[in-house]
């Protein structure tokens, strides 16, 4: 803070003395901005007519603020809008496939529940699309920013899950599939695609996991008309453990998501 101005200087400033040079006025004013004591001292020294003028101005400004328009509201946060843009077609597709699975269950109740069989891979198209060169037009701009990395991937994945999980719950309610057996494999596969994504890229990881699941589990169980062992109600704990393990692995490799090569 600057030195407190002399009382005499402050009095001359209050009177508007033209003999006070510009540099002194400037230094008094810059000091007044930061010093409440000197402002109080100045207030005690200003002549009555100046005080009356200040009161009139203050009242007029107050009236003007009250009569004027209300402060403009901030527009909707852009990032929320951004989240809704890219994976939308993929989420629509997921919703369509789940709808078909519910219909099929109603037509052929003898087959193992397709909703249960598809639940693990339901979020994968959306997850793959949410951080991908092909679906994010501005990937090169985004990849060079400090926000790029695991945090951004998780944020986008959460947005995908926020749509997919209610869809799964709805489909489960219609077909009577147990909720735990819908959600835990779904979370485990999401975490696995991110963990594997740190090695080969999220898109490839999601595609690979989806293919392996379809070939190794979905196709045989449809052929034999039996629900696979891994999807029987006792497996929920194992799926939950797998989800936590995969998430931990992904978090430990967070630095690999900062560049383009490993995250496309």
> How far is 170 from 72, CA to CA, in rounded Å?
40
- Provide the minimum distance between the beta carbon of 263 and another protein in the complex, in angstroms, as a whole number: 11
- Provide the minimum distance between the beta carbon of 29 and another protein in the complex, in angstroms, as a whole number: 18
Closest CB to another protein among 55 and 255? 255
> How far is 166 from 168, CA to CA, in rounded Å?
5
Sites of contact with another protein (CB under 8 A) = 78-79, 81-82, 85, 136-148, 255-256, 258-261
- Provide the minimum distance between the beta carbon of 61 and another protein in the complex, in angstroms, as a whole number: 24
Closest CB to another protein among 137 and 234? 137
Closest CB to another protein among 141 and 222? 141
Closest CB to another protein among 51 and 259? 259
Closest CA to 156 of 132, 189, 182: 132
The most distant pair of C-alpha atoms in the chain lies apart, rounded to whole Å, by 103
Residue pair 1/38 in contact by the 8 Å Cβ criterion? no
Closest CB to another protein among 61 and 252? 252
- Provide the minimum distance between the beta carbon of 253 and another protein in the complex, in angstroms, as a whole number: 10
Residue pair 169/230 in contact by the 8 Å Cβ criterion? no
- Provide the minimum distance between the beta carbon of 31 and another protein in the complex, in angstroms, as a whole number: 19
């Amino acid at each position: 803070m600057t030195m407190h101005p002399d009382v005499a200087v402050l009095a001359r400033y209050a009177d508007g003395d033209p003999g006070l040079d510009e540099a002194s006025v400037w230094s008094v004013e810059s000091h007044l901005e930061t010093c409440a004591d000197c402002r109080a001292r100045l207030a005690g020294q200003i002549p009555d007519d100046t005080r009356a003028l200040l009161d009139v101005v203050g009242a007029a400004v107050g009236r003007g603020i009250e009569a004027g328009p209300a402060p403009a509201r901030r527009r909707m946060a852009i990032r929320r809008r951004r989240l809704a843009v890219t994976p939308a077609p993929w989420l629509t597709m997921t919703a369509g496939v789940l709808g078909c699975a519910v219909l099929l269950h109603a037509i052929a109740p003898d087959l193992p529940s397709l909703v249960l069989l598809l639940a693990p891979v339901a979020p994968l198209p959306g997850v793959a699309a949410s951080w991908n060169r092909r679906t994010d037009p501005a990937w090169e701009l985004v990849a060079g920013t400090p926000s790029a990395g695991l945090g951004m991937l998780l944020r986008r994945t959460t947005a995908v899950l926020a749509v997919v999980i209610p869809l799964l719950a709805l489909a489960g309610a219609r077909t009577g599939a147990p909720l735990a057996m819908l959600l835990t494999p779904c979370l485990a596969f999401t975490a696995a695609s991110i963990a594997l994504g740190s090695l080969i890229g999220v898109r490839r990881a999601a595609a690979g996991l989806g293919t392996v699941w379809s070939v190794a589990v979905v196709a045989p169980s449809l052929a034999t008309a039996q629900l696979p062992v891994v999807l029987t109600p006792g497996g929920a704990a194992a799926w939950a453990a797998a989800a936590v393990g995969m998430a931990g692995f992904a978090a430990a490799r967070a630095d690999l998501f900062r560049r383009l090569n490993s995250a496309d």
